[in-house]
Amino acid sequence: MNKKESIGGRAYSNGVQLMNSKKAVKAYYDKTGDLKVNIKRSKKIKKAHILKKIPVIRGILSILIALWVFLKEVLKNPIKYWFIFLIILFDLVFWFGGNGEISTYRAVFLISYFMLPLFLIFYFRNNISEVLKFHGAEHMAVNYYENDCKGQIKDYSRIHKSCGSNFIFYFLLFQIIGSLLGFEFNLFIRQLLYIGLAYEAMKYTPDSLLFIVTIIQRFVAKKPDQKQIIAAEKALYILLEEEGDDFI
């Protein structure tokens, strides 16, 4: 296999999307149950390749690009994602309405802020079961790819260290540490710094120290059925077919 680049992914209620620097492939089931594929080419950004080699900066760049892509999708159907706007509004009121004297309360809030979504996912796990299964299939496909496509996707773990839940965990962890230490410099720069540090922590933390986020992922990435695995396999196959990679 040729030298490969990193790939990412995202789960939906009806499919899975995998992407690299060149394109994004979404394999999904339509209302009739047929498996469909949607391919989007990525626009090349000059100098981005150099920036992605710089620690912290690469994390900021990667997350901001991912957020921009997600925001464009949200704006296409704002009613569907009303809760996202509610969270953003709540964040703005909280961060800009606070001051250094309530850093301890911020830390408590951030812990609650992280635990509440996990509680909701656990409580409504049966209703969002399909999304969680596609999430598990997405992780299995990426693990399969990173292990040189040996064996079968279904044999790989549904746990992956680059999961978005891991990033959120580290991001909030740095928020808590910063609040407890009284870091009150420029809000925007501070958030960007935490994003970059969270990315590096997620990338380089030894697997042996990931037991907390591993437990979390067992809630947000369920063991997929054959249906979800087939979709993930299809997305990965199309993502790699033009790159000259071996895929069995």
In this model, does residue 246 exceed pLDDT 60? no
* Predicted confidence (pLDDT) at residue 207 exceeds the cutoff of 60: yes
How far is the C-alpha of 140 from the C-alpha of 134, rounded, in Å? Answer: 10
Question: What crossing angle do the helices spanning 187-204 and 164-180 adopt, rounded to 10°?
Answer: 130
Residue 30 lies in a domain: yes
Specify burial of residue 23 (Cβ count, 10 A radius: 0-12, 13-18, 19+). Answer: middle
User: Which residues form the domain of 122?
Assistant: 8-240
Residue 185, pLDDT > 60, answer yes
Give how far the C-alpha of residue 94 lies from the chain's centroid of Cα atoms, to the nearest Å. 24
Given a contact cutoff of 8 angstroms between Cβ atoms, the answer to whether 133 and 141 are in contact is no
- What's the confidence (pLDDT) of residue 152? 94
Among the residue ranges 62-71, 90-99, 122-131, 150-159, the one predicted with the least confidence is 90-99
What pLDDT is stored for residue 150 in this prediction? 92
The answer to whether residue 1 scores a pLDDT higher than 50 is no
Q: Percentage of the chain surpassing pLDDT 90?
A: 29
pLDDT for res 16: 95
Q: Is residue 248 part of a domain?
A: no
Tens digits of residue pLDDT in 3-13 = 567 898 999 88
| Single-letter code of the amino acid located at 65 | I
- Residue 148 neighbours by CB under 8 Å, 6+ apart: 1, 246
Whether the per-residue pLDDT at 42 is higher than 60: the answer is: yes
pLDDT band at 161; cut points 50, 70, 90: confident
**Structural domain contains residue 245:** no
pTM of the model: 0.75
Higher-scoring residue by pLDDT: 15, 210: 15
Domain membership flag for residue 42: yes
Query: Which is nearest to 11 in space by CA: 129, 168, 91, 176?
Result: 129
What domain count does the chain have?
1
Q: Which is nearest to 170 in space by CA: 205, 144, 140?
A: 205
Q: Tell me which range, 39-43, 174-178, 227-231, is most confidently predicted by mean pLDDT.
A: 227-231
Q: What is the 3-state secondary structure of 130-167?
A: HHHHHHHHHHHHHHHHHCCCCCCHHHCCCCCCCCHHHH
Note whether residue 223 is domain-resident: yes
Arithmetic mean of pLDDT over the chain? 79
pLDDT tens across 100-147, in order?
444 555 656 666 655 666 666 665 666 578 889 999 999 999 999 999
The 8-11 sheet, strands edge to edge:
8-11, 15-19, 23-29, 35-41
Cα–Cα distance measured from residue 226 to residue 179, given in angstroms and rounded to the nearest whole number: 45
* Residue 216 in this model has a pLDDT that exceeds 60: yes
Of the candidates 131, 159, 133, the one whose C-alpha atom is nearest the C-alpha of residue 217 is 159
Q: Six-digit token pair at 183?
A: 């870091």
Cβ neighbours around 127 below 10 Å, total: 8
pLDDT per residue over 72-92, tens digit each?
766 766 665 555 555 555 555
